[in-house]
Amino acid sequence: MNTFHFPAPLAALAAPDDAAGDWSWERLLQILQATGGNILVVAIIIAVCALTALVLRGVIRRVVKRIVDSAKTKANVDDTQALERSPLADMRLVQRTRTLGTILTNIVNVILVVVAIVLVVNHLNKDLLGSLTLLTAAVGAGLGFGAQNIVKDVLNGLFLVAEDQIGIGDVVDLGLASGVVEYVSVRVTQVRDVNGTLWYVRNGEVTRIGNMSQGWARAIIDLGVAPDADLELVEKTMLETAQTLAKDPKWRTRIIAKPEIWGLETIDGDALVVRVVMKTRANAMDDVSQELRRRLRTALVEKEIGVPRIAAVTLTGLEGARRVRGANPPVTKPNPVTGVPRIVDRGIWRRKKTTGEEGGTQ
């Protein structure tokens, strides 16, 4: 006669009531203890990682705040916006520090999340990570091809900030978008244009950057006057007006070089176009250009000189490359003039006379 054997759990249930009760309670307590221990360890790991993240983020914020406060104290201002009146390096330092602080905070968050996940999985099952080595290697190889763009974006983002190519608050032209930089992360740069559209540009897609907030800018004004106007009077009036603007206490902190008259640029049927330029701080070019146009019109109208048109221009291409140094032409030697006797240059060194020559001259 065949006998039927209960499986272990069912056999325990088939045992007498007192033995089954003792086994179930002991087993339940063991499960609860193991589960509670695992939960406690996981909670400790998460708490330690979260506390570490808070501490590191606090350190980053403190360092950023100290650098910003140092720049403000050096410039003797109370707010960051007032740094525009201080040397440009202070403003760039604040922008660069804040951007690096944002990127470092994101890196800390990502690293600590990954570390917490690895520690938790390793505690719950020590063999799980080892058994998944081949699987993770295969998945990593597959993701490596798909994540090339992500890695490229991250590396480019780090170099963009580390090399001070871009910073929060800069006015930039990224080719894909133009506007004010509002946020720079390790993967994406956010640029808001004049219409209010927020553009998300991947850092890996940025191949060139035109930063209009670094160094200096040049306000270029083309002023058209009547063809029969006195050109010398027009140029003199324009230069005096620009010099008056450069000496104005309200505007002189935004102007960093003397104005220049680049002379007669073009002649067409209804106007002579004369160009005046002024070197300004990078973030003050538009304001200075607008004020200069207003003053030029007022000054020319007072002298009864008609102004058919006046506009600010932006030089590009070869024209911009040729005039980037301003109106000063390169110094060259004059062309030789035939029929004129050559004048010998007398330098500091002279040939020493011999004794015979001295005697002959006596």
Structure tokens, 85: 């009146």
Q: Are residues 205 and 222 in the same domain?
A: no
Specify the pLDDT at position 198: 93
- Give residue 26's pLDDT: 72
Is the model more confident about 20 or about 48?
48
Beta-strand pair 309-312/210-211? unpaired
In the prediction, which pLDDT does 294 show?
92
Provide the b/e sequence for 261-273 (b: ≥16 CB within 10 Å).
bbeeeeeeeebbb
Check the CA dihedral 331-332-333-338 and report its sign: negative
Instruction: Decide if 30 is inside a domain.
Output: yes
pLDDT of residue 55: 86
Span 246-250, mean pLDDT?
Answer: 90
User: Are residues 114 and 85 located together in one domain of the fold?
Assistant: yes
Can you give the pLDDT at residue 243?
92
Is the distance from CB of 273 to CB of 233 less than 8 angstroms?
no
pLDDT band at 78 (very low <50, low <70, confident <90, very high): low
Residue 64: its pLDDT value, please? 74
Q: At 173, is the secondary structure helix, strand, or coil?
A: strand
Q: Are residues 292 and 221 in contact, defined by beta-carbon separation less than 8 angstroms?
A: yes
- Split into its structural domains, the chain has a count of 3
Tell me: do 42 and 154 sit in the same domain.
no
* pLDDT cut 70: percent of the chain above it: 67
Q: Is residue 342 situated within a structural domain?
A: no
Least confident of 108-112, 127-131, 144-148: 127-131
Mean pLDDT for the stretch of residues 309-329: 74
Residue 338 covered by a domain: no
Q: Is residue 248 part of a domain?
A: yes
Q: Distances from the Cα of 58 to the Cαs of 61, 108, 116, 253, in angstroms?
A: 5, 11, 19, 36
Residue 289 binned pLDDT confidence (cut-offs 50, 70, 90): very high
Answer yes or no: do 195 and 276 share one domain: no
Mean pLDDT of the chain: 75
Query: pLDDT confidence of 353, banded at 50, 70, 90?
Result: low
Q: Is the pLDDT of residue 349 over 50?
A: no
User: In the chain, what is the straight-line distance between the N-terminal and C-terminal CA atoms, in Å?
Assistant: 157
pLDDT at 14: 46
| Residue 83 banded pLDDT, cuts 50, 70, 90 | very low
Pair (111, 92) in one structural domain: yes
Which secondary-structure segment (H or E) carries 216?
strand 216-225
Check whether residue 121 and residue 147 sit in a common domain: no
Q: Residue 321 corresponds to which tokens in the numbers above?
A: 């490359």
Listed ranges 83-92, 109-118, 326-335; the one with the highest mean pLDDT: 109-118
- Arithmetic mean of pLDDT, 253-265: 88
The enclosing domain of 165 has a CATH number of 2.30.30.60
Model confidence over 26-66: pLDDT tens digits? Answer: 776 677 666 777 788 788 888 888 888 888 888 877 877 77
Q: Say which CATH number the domain at 283 has.
A: 3.30.70.100
Question: Within a domain: residue 158?
Answer: yes
Candidate from 37-41, 178-182, 204-208 with smallest mean pLDDT: 37-41
> pLDDT > 90: what percent of the chain?
13
Is residue 42 located within the same domain as residue 121? yes
Please determine, for residue 132, whether its predicted confidence score (pLDDT) is greater than 90.
Answer: no
**Are 298 and 198 in the same domain?**
no
**Domain boundaries, position 207:** 132-214
Q: What is the reported pLDDT for 157?
A: 81
Confidence of residue 355 (pLDDT cuts 50, 70, 90): low
Strand partners, 189: 184, 201
- Domain shared by 205 and 292, yes or no: no
**pLDDT reading at 326 higher than 70:** yes
Specify if 69 maps to a domain: yes
Q: What is the pLDDT of residue 347?
A: 44
